[in-house]
Amino acid sequence: MQYRFALVGNPNCGKTTMFNEITGSTQYVGNWPGVTIEKKEGKARKFKEDIRIIDLPGIYSLSPYSMEEIIARDYIIDEKPDVIINILDATNIERNLYLTTQVIELGIPVVVVLNIMDEVESRGDSIDTKELEKFLGTPVLCTSANKGKGVSDVVQKALELAQTAAVKAANERVCIFDEKIEKCITEVEGKISSYLKEKHYSRWAAIKLLEGDEKAKEKLNIPSELLTEIDEYKDRLEKEYDNDMETMVADNRYRFISHIVGKTVKKKSGRGELTLSDKIDRVVTNKFLAIPLFLAVMFAVFQVTFGAIGSFTIDWVDALINDSLAGLVSGWLEAAGASEWLHELIVGGIIGGMGSMLVFVPQIMILFFFISLLEDSGYMARAAFVMDRLLRKFGLSGKSFIPMFMGFGCTTPAVMATRTLENEKDRKLTIMLTPFMSCGARLPVYVLFAAAFFAKNQSIVIFSIYVLGIVVAVLSGIILKNTILKGDAEPFVMELPPYRIPTLKGISIHMWDRGKAFIKKAGTVIFAASVVIWFLQSFSFNLQMVEDPADSIFGYIGKAIAPLFAPLGFGDWKSSVALLTGLVAKEVVVATMGILHGIGEVAEDSVELAAALQASFTPLKAYAFMAFTLLYVPCVAAFAAIKREMNSWKWTLMAVGYQTGVAWIVAFIIYQGGRLLGLN
Amino acid sequence: MERSLKLLKPGEKGIIVKINGEGAVKRRLMDMGVTRGAEVLVRKVAPLGDPIEVNIRGYELTFRKSEAENILVK
């Protein structure tokens, strides 16, 4: 027989550590249906029974206001796990118990776990677990999951509960609410119970209906006459207390919590004493130091990821794939007498195409290492605290800064980093704007054109392109915030968790989970895309393999769409074909330009190519082309990441459509505006 | 004397009397422990002037001044 235990707890309570301790490396990571929130499931090791552990999203409450909360409660209601393991950060027990007061109403056996007990003990505080068990009507256990202490006992206890057939009714009858409210709840429970699919959550349902929870109303399928009757109960109580029901319920819960915390928690340290976290925060979020420190941290992460170490890994993987592996496979194919097109497909198309994505894997891993480090240590929340004011002006939130900044390195991991934003709207907008940050792959294009047309002020011209990207992002933020992503300002209410020294194991798991997603994508979407793009640029319409890209399908498409670019100043077909091939990776634009101008594959500092370009471009046209390169659809890898994070084709197409539209308009303004001003 | 939490300076304390407004923001605040009777200490204001950091129920919480405006303390 299979048992299913669900892990429930606040963010930062050590839930992930607990999950990893219980399941080891047997976990399965996927997404919840319809949303990008991670769904983790694993098998408990060290037990002969078949025990599945489900890691529900970290939540503060079972309110219907965030995706995570809805997922968690829907899972519990619909799937009815055998036991709920409710994990609490014992150093912050008061707020953590709030979720507990809701979880115990669901009519499913609960094990309450006080985690991070080592910290509580080292402070000299104590918690009377026996007393707490009486108040909550559930078993209470202590653990220090980061040291693996007490973890097996938790699973053992949950197993005992699951095997005891009779669920204790006691844990549903904890007196949290005052008499009048309690009486109402009991009455409503009696009225609705015959309509519920299962009886065990009747108390939870009654409370939600009294609170006026719309999502619960939809879900529970209660006849409308009965809903009206429940609303009368609600109105009566609200009048009597001169307050709204939601507030009264929350007030009652916290009053109950204050009461039991007073009885069970003994604090040694006097209040108001500065903890280590407070001391660190005096510096980290200091009025004068906070911003310089934030920039320094970002700069350091950026330097390591995209600087020497990052480029070293790129070169290394590049050599491994494009030289060693390609050479090896080439040899095999020749020995096997493979036809030329097959050889080209495998070596040029598949290995080349996949290679151009896989070279980013180590870099993405490094970036995720740092992001995990910043998150696990508690700094990420501070960064959001410091930057929120500035970013809110553009419709973003404090947390958007990190992905946007990473966008200067590589759009793909930057888009994936948006996952740290809890808020759906903030995340969508951040994903749409991040590609405007000029990534490393676009630089060769700027270098080529700047050297050919702006020899005297190369660096200023290139810098201006970067600034252009930021300006476009800011303006887009303001525009999108007031149009398609319109709505009430999302609340910014965030915990600043205490600083903790992250464990290497924790960070590694975090990093691997995220990196794996990219590798998986590289193996599917990007693989397919490389084959398609290779085909389009190597074959003509009558399926003959061509030497000159001009004769390929891409060449024809390029010629067909070239007039679209005429108002932007680069209506020649070579430019359009180069831009199309840039979809593989933006630096490919340079190589294609070389081939199309009959010079062969060249680097961005090629003098011959510069001379060839001078024949067909003017400085103004060149600048418009650079601006277009900056802003149009990012490469296939970034597109795949956008699709993954948006989790919707509509939004993905809207994002790339918007980017390309903006690219066209901006290049148009530059070219036509420049001409009006008499520039050339 | 009742006043908005927004008016408290860093280092000042208050007891929460009421939260105005409704919907998601109010609910989120209450879920995080901002309920009647809780003591709240304003720790600091972010370097750019918003949001603010408070200590409530033994932990650190941050929200914007627009949210603080709706919280009445005494």
Using an 8 Å CB-CB cutoff, list chain B residues near A254: 33, 35, 37-38, 57
The closest of A672, A670, A674, A650 to A662, measured between CA atoms, is: A670
CA end-to-end span of chain A = 78
Segment of A99-108, A214-223, A318-327, A385-394 carrying the highest mean pLDDT: A99-108
Q: Which residue has the higher pLDDT, A465 or A510?
A: A465
Measured between alpha carbons, how far is A346 from A354 in angstroms, rounded to an integer? 10
Q: Where does the pLDDT of residue A158 fall: very low under 50, low under 70, confident under 90, or very high at 90 and above?
A: very high
On the question of pLDDT at A167 being above 60, the answer is: no
Name the minimum distance, in Å, from the CA of A32 to any CA of chain B: 23
Question: For A8, phi and psi rounded to 5 degrees?
Answer: -125, 140
Contact B51 A389 (CB under 8 A): yes
The pLDDT score that the predictor gives to residue A166 is 52
ipTM score assigned to the predicted complex: 0.96
Contact A498 B58 (CB under 8 A): no
Give the tens place of pLDDT for each residue, A652-666. 999 999 999 999 999
The pLDDT score that the predictor gives to residue A661 is 95
Contact B35 A244 (CB under 8 A): no
On the question of pLDDT at A88 being above 90, the answer is: yes
Measured between alpha carbons, how far is A508 from A184 in angstroms, rounded to an integer? 50
Measured between alpha carbons, how far is A551 from A553 in angstroms, rounded to an integer? 7
Mean pLDDT over A29-38 rounds to 66
Mean pLDDT over A116-141 rounds to 92
Nearest by CB to A495, which of B24, B35, B59?
Answer: B59
The pLDDT score that the predictor gives to residue A315 is 81
The pLDDT score that the predictor gives to residue A363 is 76
Using an 8 Å CB-CB cutoff, list chain B residues near A379: none
Using an 8 Å CB-CB cutoff, list chain A residues near B37: 251, 254-255, 258
Q: Which residue has the higher pLDDT, A128 or A28?
A: A128
Chain A residues touching chain B at CB-CB below 8 Å: 60-61, 63, 65, 92-95, 98, 244, 246-247, 250-251, 254-255, 258, 277, 281, 285-288, 290-291, 381, 385-390, 392, 489, 491-498
Contact B38 A254 (CB under 8 A): yes
- On the CB side of A376, CA atoms within 13 Å amount to 22
Mutate to test the interface with B, among A385, A390, A392, A488 (most CBs of B within 10 A): A385
Q: If you ran DSSP here, which 8-state letter would residue B40 be given?
A: E
What is the total residue count of chain B? 74
In DSSP terms, which residues pair with B56 in a beta bridge?
B40, B59
Single-letter code of the amino acid located at A315:
D
Contact B33 A98 (CB under 8 A): yes
Q: Give the nearest chain B residue to A283 (CA atoms).
A: B47
Mean pLDDT over A143-164 rounds to 91
Give the tens place of pLDDT for each residue, B8-48. 999 999 999 999 987 788 888 999 999 999 999 999 999 99
The pLDDT score that the predictor gives to residue B18 is 92
**Beta-carbon contacts of residue A25 (< 8 Å; ≥ 6 apart):** none
Measured between alpha carbons, how far is A580 from A586 in angstroms, rounded to an integer? 9
Q: Give the nearest chain B residue to A287 (CA atoms).
A: B47
Q: Where does the pLDDT of residue A173 fall: very low under 50, low under 70, confident under 90, or very high at 90 and above?
A: low
What 3-state class would DSSP assign to A84? strand
Contact B62 A288 (CB under 8 A): no
> Is-contact A268 B40, C-beta < 8 A?
no
Segment of A131-140, A191-200, A523-532 carrying the highest mean pLDDT: A131-140
Q: Considering only A193-202, A287-296, A398-407, A442-451, which range has the smallest mean pLDDT?
A: A398-407
Show the tokens assigned to A445. Answer: 């294009």
**Beta-carbon contacts of residue A647 (< 8 Å; ≥ 6 apart):** A31, A34, A35, A36
On the question of pLDDT at A35 being above 90, the answer is: no
> Is-contact A665 A605, C-beta < 8 A?
no
On the question of pLDDT at A318 being above 90, the answer is: no
On the question of pLDDT at A540 being above 80, the answer is: yes
Show the tokens assigned to A134. Answer: 């009486």
Using an 8 Å CB-CB cutoff, list chain B residues near A65: 24, 27-28
What 3-state class would DSSP assign to A675? helix
Q: Considering only A221-230, A334-343, A458-467, A596-605, which range has the smallest mean pLDDT?
A: A596-605
Using an 8 Å CB-CB cutoff, list chain B residues near A498: 59-60
Q: Where does the pLDDT of residue A671 fall: very low under 50, low under 70, confident under 90, or very high at 90 and above?
A: very high
Q: Considering only A38-47, A91-100, A586-595, which range has the smallest mean pLDDT?
A: A586-595
The closest of A253, A278, A265 to A93, measured between CA atoms, is: A265
Single-letter code of the amino acid located at A382:
R
On the question of pLDDT at A170 being above 60, the answer is: no
Q: Where does the pLDDT of residue A285 fall: very low under 50, low under 70, confident under 90, or very high at 90 and above?
A: confident
Mean pLDDT over A227-239 rounds to 93
On the question of pLDDT at A172 being above 60, the answer is: no
Nearest by CB to A94, which of B47, B57, B66?
Answer: B57
Using an 8 Å CB-CB cutoff, list chain A residues near B29: 491, 493
Using an 8 Å CB-CB cutoff, list chain B residues near A288: 47
Q: Give the nearest chain B residue to A267 (CA atoms).
A: B58
Name the minimum distance, in Å, from the CA of A419 to any CA of chain B: 21
In DSSP terms, which residues pair with A7 in a beta bridge?
A55, A85
Q: Residue for token digits 């669900």?
A: A6
On the question of pLDDT at A171 being above 50, the answer is: no
Q: Considering only A182-196, A383-397, A444-458, A603-617, which range has the smallest mean pLDDT?
A: A603-617
Using an 8 Å CB-CB cutoff, list chain A residues near B69: none
The pLDDT score that the predictor gives to residue A257 is 96
Name the minimum distance, in Å, from the CA of A330 to any CA of chain B: 59
Mutate to test the interface with B, among A392, A493, A496 (most CBs of B within 10 A): A493
Question: For B11, phi and psi rounded to 5 degrees?
Answer: 95, -15
The closest of A73, A57, A92 to A422, measured between CA atoms, is: A57
Separate counts of helices (H) and strands (E) for chain A: 33, 10
Segment of A340-344, A454-458, B59-63 carrying the highest mean pLDDT: B59-63
- In order, the DSSP letters of A253-286 are HHHHHHHHHHHHEE--SPTTPPPHHHHHHHHHT-
> Is-contact A631 A625, C-beta < 8 A?
no
The pLDDT score that the predictor gives to residue A525 is 66
- Catalogue the long-range contacts made by A151-158 (C-beta closer than 8 Å, 24 or more residues apart): A151/A18, A151/A21, A151/A22, A152/A46, A154/A18, A154/A22, A154/A85, A154/A111, A154/A113, A155/A5, A155/A22, A155/A44, A155/A46, A155/A47, A155/A51, A157/A111, A158/A3, A158/A5, A158/A82, A158/A83, A158/A85, A158/A109, A158/A111
Nearest by CB to B67, which of A258, A285, A493?
Answer: A493
On the question of pLDDT at A168 being above 60, the answer is: no
The pLDDT score that the predictor gives to residue A367 is 78
Nearest by CB to A61, which of B22, B31, B58?
Answer: B31
Measured between alpha carbons, how far is B61 from A496 in angstroms, rounded to an integer? 6
Instruction: Kindly provide the residue ranges of all beta strands, DSSP E only, lying in A414-545, ordered along the sequence.
Output: 493-495
**Beta-carbon contacts of residue A16 (< 8 Å; ≥ 6 apart):** A55, A506, A509, A510
- When the pLDDT of each residue in chain A is averaged and rounded to a whole number, the result is 86
Show the tokens assigned to A217. Answer: 């109303």
On the question of pLDDT at A22 being above 70, the answer is: yes
Using an 8 Å CB-CB cutoff, list chain B residues near A93: 58
Mean pLDDT over A2-27 rounds to 88
Separate counts of helices (H) and strands (E) for chain B: 2, 6
Using an 8 Å CB-CB cutoff, list chain A residues near B27: 61, 63, 65, 246, 250
On the question of pLDDT at A9 being above 60, the answer is: yes
Instruction: Kindly provide the residue ranges of all beta strands, DSSP E only, lying in chain B, ordered along the sequence.
Output: 3-4, 13-19, 39-45, 52-56, 59-63, 71-73
In DSSP terms, which residues pair with A494 in a beta bridge?
B62
> Is-contact A96 A450, C-beta < 8 A?
no
Contact A385 B53 (CB under 8 A): yes
**Beta-carbon contacts of residue A384 (< 8 Å; ≥ 6 apart):** A397, A398, A399, A401, A494
Distances in Å between the Cα of A72 and the Cα atoms of A27, A80, A90, A375 are 18, 11, 22, 22
Measured between alpha carbons, how far is A419 from A179 in angstroms, rounded to an integer? 44
Mean pLDDT over A124-152 rounds to 92
The pLDDT score that the predictor gives to residue A515 is 75
Interface contacts A/B by beta carbons within 8 Å: 121
Mean pLDDT over A445-468 rounds to 88
Contact B50 A388 (CB under 8 A): yes
Contact B37 A290 (CB under 8 A): no
